[in-house]
A and B are shown apart, each in its own frame.
Chain A
């Protein structure tokens, strides 16, 4: 079951914050976040496991609400380099990652 990401696209000015959401109708074991620049490979950002703590990576952090089967990715004080498409991938057990359709983030000067 493909997770649902929102918003589909967002435009930010440098220094602004953004939140990207990922939700599933199934009970999740883990949520994985990736960023992909156009024509390049998805790059791993972080993984959140059921029962685990909120993760952080520089100015990018994420949370996982197990009760709601939702995860949110927080980007603070955005930089031009944050531009790209963000994908969440979800696991419901020993199954392959299923990715959402992505959120296109554009950071402008």
Chain B
């Protein structure tokens, strides 16, 4: 158990819908990262938040957005869902913002778009 929690574990929805994925970082960790992993693919970085502020964006679609709240939990919002958005979505947390900190992954949310 990494200490990072994600809900829900599974999500099944239809094309065009909107969903929200939730992540709670390890106690004391200020950084949250979101990744997308499609079937048998690598980990694609989406976005990074540090202590409530957006720090970096990766290959995140305009239909996707995220935020980190004062209690440090983060939410990833996916809208106008398409079949290709079906994937595992992981969040990860780390204690600091600078290089060298270990990054711990949550169990993931499996999103299926029908």
Contact = CB atoms under 8 A, between A and B. Distances in A.
23 contacts: A29-B99, A32-B103, A41-B90, A41-B106, A42-B43, A42-B90, A42-B105, A43-B2, A43-B105, A44-B103, A89-B43, A89-B103, A91-B100, A95-B56, A96-B33, A96-B45, A96-B48, A96-B58, A97-B45, A98-B45, A99-B42, A99-B45, A101-B42
B48 A41 contact: no
B42 A97 contact: no
Q: Enumerate the 4 nearest inter-chain pairs by beta-carbon distance, A residue then B residue, closest first.
A: A41-B105, A99-B43, A29-B99, A91-B99
Given A91-B99, A94-B97, 14 more contacts: A2-B42, A29-B100, A32-B102, A41-B2, A41-B90, A41-B108, A42-B90, A44-B2, A44-B103, A44-B104, A47-B102, A93-B99, A94-B98, A96-B45
Contact of A96 (B56, B100, B102): B56
A100 B44 CA distance: 10
A42 B88 CA distance: 12
A71 interface: no
Contact-residue bracket for chain A = 20 to 34
Contact-residue bracket for chain B = 20 to 34
Contacts of A102: 42
